[in-house]
Amino acid sequence: MFRTQHIQIKTDAQIDKMRAAGLVVGQTLEKLRAAVAPGVSTADLDAIAEESIRSAGAIPSFKGYHGFPASICASVNDQVVHGIPAGAQVLRDGDLISIDCGAILDGWHGDAAITVGVGPSVDPKYVEMAKVCEDAMWAGFAAARIDGRLSDISHAVERVVRAGGDYGIVTGYGGHGIGTEMHQDPHVLNYGRPGRGPKLVRGMALAVEPMITMGAPDTDELEDGWTVVTRDGSWASHTEHTFVLTDDGPWVLTAVDGGRSRLGDAVTSREPVSPDTRDW
């Protein structure tokens, strides 16, 4: 491991450790996706997450992070990110929830988030927003190439969001380098012109996380010191994965299938398909 321009570059062995951490996060988020339902509280989801992470021998990285009290961020409806799980926050049919989850395994981090509709009555416009947000994230990975530039990712994210509809792109928060800490250099914007910023190199690991809204992009932080909400009350979506750039392209470490279903087989050619990972 060495650092260039404050960016931590990972060796193959370290990447394999990040994959193990990423799978804990990916597996946990799939359990949470399945658990989301009307009547379930965000504290219930947090308990499921902590149990899933600890039973895998990992540590919930969010818990205690600058004093954050839980293992997930649960952000409902007009909450964008960093919502604190609570027993009193019971999900209702028609809600939209973003769940962000991180884990540390053997000293290495994974970080990912999903946005999920609650119950059968979610307005299709919110389902569509969540899809656009997720598609934008995947476009960001697809744009990441060795010898490309960091803002190629940002540009690809923005392009898909703009093509998808009249959404606000939240600019106060974004993606980040990740490795032996959850948040490392560089910051990854969700908008911008291509061809700028640090050169993308083999072994660079980044979390890409678009946040978009049905209205304006402006946000406020609530008095709890964490929860970020839209200023205009419009609902928001947030999607995130951690990936590493390999000779074969981006390997999406927090996706259970490594990104194969979205990016093709080449990206996970380093990884044998074992029953362990396939069943997650």
Interface residue list for Mg ion (CB under 5 A): 100, 111, 113, 207, 240
* Least Å from the CB of residue 204 to Mg ion: 15
* Least Å from the CB of residue 101 to Mg ion: 7
**Amino acid identity at 125:** K
44/240 with CB nearer Mg ion: 240
* Least Å from the CB of residue 175 to Mg ion: 6
Which residues make Cβ contacts (< 8 Å) with residue 232, sequence separation at least 6?
213, 215, 216, 218
3-state SS class at 217: coil
Q: Helix 42-55 crosses helix 12-35 at what angle (to 10 degrees)? A: 140
Residue 7, Ramachandran bin (φ over 0: left; ψ between -120 and 50: alpha; else beta): beta
* Least Å from the CB of residue 109 to Mg ion: 9
Name beta bridge partners: 103.
60, 110
122, two tokens = 């979610």
103/207 with CB nearer Mg ion: 207
2/254 with CB nearer Mg ion: 254
